[in-house]
A and B are shown apart, each in its own frame.
Chain A
Amino acid sequence: MADAVIVVALLLTAGAATAAVAVRDPARQALVLSLLGLFLGVVFTVLQAPDVGLSQLAVGSALTPLLIMLSVRKVRRRGKEGGK
Chain B
Amino acid sequence: MSRFFRLRVLAFGGAGLAALLVAACFDLPGFGGGSHPYGDRAVRASLARRTANVISSVNFDQRAYDTLGEMSILFAAVLGCVVLLRQNRDEHRDRPEPTEVALPVRRYALLVLPVALVTGLYVIAHGQLSPGGGFQGGVVAATALHLLYLGADYGALERVRPIGVFEVTDSLAACSYLVLGLAGVLAGTAFLANTLLPYGTFNTLSSGGTVPLLNAAIGMEVASAVVVLLARFLDQAVEIEEEKGS
Contact = CB atoms under 8 A, between A and B. Distances in A.
A58 interface: yes
Contact of B53 (A51, A53, A63, A71): A51
Contact of B237 (A3, A49, A51, A73): A73
Interface residues of B, number: 26
Given A70-B233, A70-B236, A62 B143 contact: yes
B123 A81 contact: no
A66 B230 contact: yes
A55 interface: yes
B143 A54 contact: no
Task: Classify the interface of chain A: helix, strand, loop or mixed.
Answer: helix
A24 interface: no
B139 A59 contact: yes
A7 B32 CA distance: 13
Nearest to B53: A51
Interface residues on A, range: 20 to 34
A3 to B, nearest CB: 8
Interface string B220-239: 00000010011001101100
Interface in B194-246: 226, 229-230, 233-234, 236-237, 241-242, 244
Interface in B100-151: 123, 131-133, 135-137, 139-140, 142-143, 146
Contacts of B55: 49, 51
A7 B198 CA distance: 44
